Chain A
Amino acid sequence: MSDPVVWLTIFVLSVFVGIEVIAKVSSTLHTPLMSGANAIHGVILLGAVIVTGTTDSSVALVVGLVAIVLAAINMVGGFVVTDRMLTMFTRKRERP
């Protein structure tokens, strides 16, 4: 998997998938969609955990822990606030 061309292939295909899956979104859902996508890139938390867990310098440890806190805010907060927005849409749609 270390071949850059393989990575480039995954990248290019993901670009097309990313555009294709949201192509038909209605403007009403722009805000929750943006917020949900925002939460997804919080998965950088995974990267922050790996680099922090494999370092032996104390400066790097501190920087890594800061990165973990920031990424966790992004990921967890992002999904929770998106869910909060969407609950309102659901309740509204269930009204007779």
Chain B
Amino acid sequence: MIPTWAQLVYLGCAVGFILALKGLSGPRTARVGNLVGAGAAVVAVATPFFYLDLDHLPLILAAIAVGSLVGVLGAQRVQMTQMPQLVALFNGVGGGAAALVALLELEHMGSFTTDFDVVATAFTIVVGSVSFAGSVVTFAKLQELMTSRPVVPPGLPVAFVAGLLATVVLTVLVVREPAVSTGVVLAAVGLVLGVLLVLPVGGADVPIVISLLNAFTGLTVAAGGYVLGNVVLLVAGTLVGASGTFLTLLMARAMGRSVANILFGALRGGSTLGAGEASDRPVRSAGPEDVAILLGYAERVIIVPGYGLAVAQAQHTLRELVDVLLARGARVDYAIHPVAGRMPGHMNVLLAEAQVPYDQLVEMDDINGEFKQTDVVLVVGANDVVNPAAKTTPGAPIYGMPILDVDEARQVVFLKRSMRPGFAGIENELLFDPRTTLLFGDAKDSLAKVLSAVKSL
């Protein structure tokens, strides 16, 4: 039995989590919100040490220390460009932990346990495993350990349905007799389902899947809280499950995609347009001096930063170039696509790191009307978010995604490493447009050359 004082502490922590989420959704309160959440979590975890006579105390404390150390090192060492992967991985291990806790709970269950408790335990095991395996595949896709394009092995839909049926049958079995061995099989099926769920998702949609898996882990923790009879786990898990699901829908809407389409679109086939190979069609490429002349005499310039900019660590050089152009009297803004980078809001984080003033970052809806009056658009390491195929080619994986209307500008300059297509794996017709100029090379290198050429104009 949990003593009353501990129940009250748990209630306080649950309120803390609500305030944390509330804080995180506003720009001024976000940092405080996160700290409130961290504080509530630490208090919640410390509480059982005071009312339970826990065995294996030294080992438990050591395990907490090891996990915390790994977490802190990971969080501090990671490049901002690789953050989405890290969030995916953190989410995955959380799901894995929940599944393991549920497996251990299964061991204590006997005839006195209600069926509903066992079903909740089975749910935790399966969904936790799905979240773990799915997050690992997401990580592999983002880290480019495997192809980021949709992978659809033959028979995938059949295998997926078979897996779902297997979980139902196994859940019935485990309710009739709560055996740990059945739980382990459930976990294995969950792992397979997690892999099958994420494999067919194309690279550009991966952020939405991370958010969905995050919600899954939340629900897993909620179910685990019910089984353990712990109210703070129930509330925290449910909050994350509900807000995570809602956030997933918000993100999908920002990208003009439906969640069902993202998860199951590739299964229906036809969404993997484009070969993903470098094209050998003719393009107009130029040297840094030509680009410098275009930029140096333009009155209105818009910069479209993409993931390639971040990979090349060229944010600082880009800001210098913009400063020089501003000094020459041009109007310059950055056009930020909602999913520029790898996640919604990711590009804002990256440019903030390079100390680009906030008022120069303009969101898509506010800047799209201005491209018609723009002399030069400089696209640095972005591709899919300016691909007109999203408007013109039904059947393209990105069709329907809102894009920056760069194709309406008078001149477009692309800084690109190669003719390789973007993350979505499709060709960009804009590259072959007569108004488009390409400057090949590493973004940082190219920007530095353009910068010195502009200075000497």
A residues neighboring B (CB under 8 Å): 1-2, 4, 7, 10-11, 14-19, 21-57, 60-61, 63-93, 95
Contact = CB atoms under 8 A, between A and B. Distances in A.
A61 B100 CA distance: 11
B104 A67 contact: yes
Nearest to A55: B104
Interface stretch (B168-176, B190-198, B344-352, B367-375): B344-352
Given A26-B27, A45-B67, 19 more contacts: A4-B114, A18-B246, A22-B247, A23-B25, A28-B363, A30-B250, A37-B240, A40-B218, A51-B105, A51-B228, A55-B55, A56-B55, A60-B104, A63-B103, A67-B100, A73-B68, A74-B91, A80-B75, A93-B28
Interface string B66-105: 1110111011101010011011001101101110110111
Interface of B: 13, 17-18, 20-22, 24-28, 30-31, 33-35, 37-38, 41, 44-45, 47-49, 52, 54-57, 59-60, 63-64, 66-68, 70-72, 74-76, 78, 80, 83-84, 86-87, 90-91, 93-94, 96-98, 100-101, 103-105, 107, 114, 116, 210-211, 214, 217-218, 220-222, 224-226, 228-244, 246-247, 250-251, 254, 338, 343-346, 348-349, 352-353, 355-358, 363
Contacts of A37: 21, 24, 214, 218, 239-240, 243-244, 247
A50 to B, nearest CB: 5
B97 A71 contact: yes
A45 B64 contact: yes
Nearest to B223: A11
Given A30-B343, A49-B54, A72-B64, A11 B222 contact: yes
A27 B240 contact: no
Contacts of B74: 73, 77, 81
B28 to A, nearest CB: 8
B21 A35 contact: no
Contact of B37 (A40, A50, A56, A77): A40
A34 B210 contact: yes
A81 B243 contact: no
Contact of A44 (B25, B86, B221): B221
Contacts of B44: 43, 46
Contacts of A52: 56, 59-60, 63, 104
Nearest to A80: B75
A83 to B, nearest CB: 6
A96 B224 CA distance: 48
Contact of B55 (A53, A71, A81): A53
Contacts of A48: 97, 100-101
A82 to B, nearest CB: 5
Contacts of B75: 76-78, 80-81, 84
B353 A31 contact: no
Contacts of B56: 52-53, 61
Which of B30, B54, B72 has most A Cβ within 10 Å? B30
Contacts of B114: 4
Contacts of A17: 18, 239, 242
B243 A27 contact: no
A47 B87 contact: no
Contacts of A45: 41, 45, 64, 67, 97
Contacts of B246: 18-19, 22-23
Nearest to A96: B357
Q: Which 6 residue pairs across A and B have the least CB separation, nearest first? A: A72-B67, A77-B71, A53-B54, A18-B242, A74-B94, A30-B344
B236 A43 contact: yes
Contact of B72 (A19, A51, A80): A80
B86 to A, nearest CB: 6
